[in-house]
């Protein structure tokens, strides 16, 4: 009986770690389907502008990219194992598409107790795109009030939310890559 309980507990822990992390109860759902319970915006909505500091202390405004580039907001945290599992795919996606007008803005949702760990976390995970800090949850309140992690919000060049994906399971990167390719193709900049 104890072995059975241990197996059930191990399965629950593994499932939670693969599907996604959340600071609030009920905030996670599997990725891949594009549906989300954590976002306060919906597909087709206009993206709300924000400004935040990156890990190098530079001020970054979303409006700098709106209307010019396809933007992927990737909400993550230093405590989120599925976020770490997704990063290699995001790094490759960014390298493959940045010349086409694609930017990833990672948004670290770490609060006062862990925000100091964010720069080392970004370096350890070899992030090749900007990592913003959202210590006061201003950005999360706009896009991810339940603080689900990871949560990806894709914004097309017209400034509209093209897709929202919550959580990460191996293989979900294919769905996100298709969303990015579609946004880049549909909104390709005129020559």
- pLDDT by residue (tens digit) across 133-142? 999 999 999 9
Alpha helices, DSSP H, located in 98-171: 118-124, 138-143
Give the pLDDT score at 160.
96
- pLDDT by residue (tens digit) across 112-126? 999 999 999 999 999
Q: Which are the contacts of 92, defined by CB distance < 8 A and separation ≥ 6?
A: none
Q: What angle do CA 64, 189, 66 make, to 5 degrees?
A: 20
DSSP state letter for 72: E
Q: Which residues, in sequence order, are bridge partners of residue 104?
A: 72
Q: Which CATH architecture has domain 2-186?
A: 3-Layer(aba) Sandwich (3.40)
DSSP state letter for 100: G
């Amino acid at each position: 009986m104890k072995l059975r309980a241990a197996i059930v507990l191990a399965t629950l822990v593994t499932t939670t770690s693969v599907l996604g992390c959340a600071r609030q109860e009920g905030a996670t759902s599997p990725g891949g389907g594009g549906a989300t319970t954590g976002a306060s915006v919906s597909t087709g909505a206009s993206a709300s502008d924000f400004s935040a500091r990156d890990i190098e202390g530079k001020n970054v405004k979303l409006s700098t990219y709106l209307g010019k580039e396809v933007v992927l907001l990737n909400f993550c945290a230093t405590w989120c194992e599925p976020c770490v599992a997704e990063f290699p795919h995001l790094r490759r996606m960014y390298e493959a598409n940045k010349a086409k007008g694609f930017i990833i803005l990672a948004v670290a949702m770490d609060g006062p107790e862990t925000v100091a760990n964010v720069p080392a976390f970004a370096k350890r995970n070899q992030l090749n795109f900007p990592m913003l800090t959202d210590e006061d949850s201003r950005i999360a309140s706009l896009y991810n009030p339940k603080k689900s992690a990871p949560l990806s919000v894709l914004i097309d060049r017209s400034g509209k939310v093209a897709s929202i994906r919550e959580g990460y399971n191996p293989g979900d990167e294919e769905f996100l890559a298709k969303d990015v390719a579609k946004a880049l193709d549909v909104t390709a900049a005129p020559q």
